Structure 1
Amino acid sequence: MASSKFQALWNHPAGPKTIHFWAPTFKWGISIANLADSTKPPEKVSYPQQIAVTATGVIWSRYSTVITPKNWNLFSVNIVMAGTGIYQLSRKIQHDYFSKEQAAVVTKE
């Protein structure tokens, strides 16, 4: 049974014998790096970079659902990319816009 599943994956049009498998597989490195960056201080997060990561994730997630054959590896990596980009953007926005307002309120009191 495992042999037939492996063979099905191996011979799939988006399987390991094609670039359609390897490109999204290596793209996981970007998502992992973005997750690792969540330990960086928010002031070091870049708006343009995170907007690009988020937009890429959203656009390619949609694309991966409309192509034939369905490429679920591409879909999953881009969902994670969009999620990590949104998380990093929310950290940056909260730091840049909301922490200053809270500090100002505390100072006035």
Structure 2
Amino acid sequence: MSKVYKTLVTAADRFVPSKLRPLWEHEAGPKTIFFWAPAFKWSLVLAGLGDLNRPVESLSIPQSISLAATGIVWSRYSLVIIPKNYSLFAVNVFVAMTSLYQIGRAIKYQQSKKQEK
């Protein structure tokens, strides 16, 4: 897989405009996992945003707690590692925010059910 990736990067290297060359060559740029891991992690944020329309009674609090904790921990980690990875920081902040919002929705729903009884 590494040879295939290197071949693709080498082929794409010729087409990168000079203005985008600093981003392309950056130590956390598209040539590295530091770029692609956060890029694919945005799918978790999209899933979390999709869950905003989900019925509140079907939300999983333990799942939301684990996603929020993961987002918080990795947000911190992304600013400690070298190179600092602001893309990883941003995606994890959004993962944590969407999960914390879902936790708030679920807790509010559970409290309203208790008050009804």
Q: TM-score under structure 1 normalisation? A: 0.87
Partner residue, 1:79: 93
Q: Distance in 1 between matches of 2:94 and 2:79?
A: 15
Partner residue, 1:107: none
Letter in 2 for 1:87: Y
Corresponding residue pairs, total: 101
Deviation at 1:48, TM superposition (A): 1.6
Alignment of 1:64-103 (within 5 A): 64-97=78-111, 99-103=112-116
Partner residue, 1:3: 18
Q: Which of residues 38, 41, 61 in structure 1 aligns to 2:52?
A: 38
Q: Distance in 1 between matches of 2:76 and 2:90?
A: 11
Q: Distance in 1 between matches of 2:102 and 2:21?
A: 39
Letter in 1 for 2:69: A
Deviation at 1:101, TM superposition (A): 4.1
Identical amino acids, percent of aligned pairs: 51
Q: Distance in 2 between matches of 1:46 and 1:89?
A: 8
Deviation at 1:88, TM superposition (A): 0.3
Q: Distance in 2 between matches of 1:39 and 1:3?
A: 43
1:27 matches 2:27:
no
Q: Alpha-carbon deviations, 1:68-97, whole Å to 9, x = none?
A: 111111000000000000000000000012
Q: TM-score under structure 2 normalisation? A: 0.81
Gaps of 5+ in 1: 105-109
Gaps of 5+ in 2: 1-16
Letter in 1 for 2:57: E
RMSD of aligned alpha carbons: 1.3
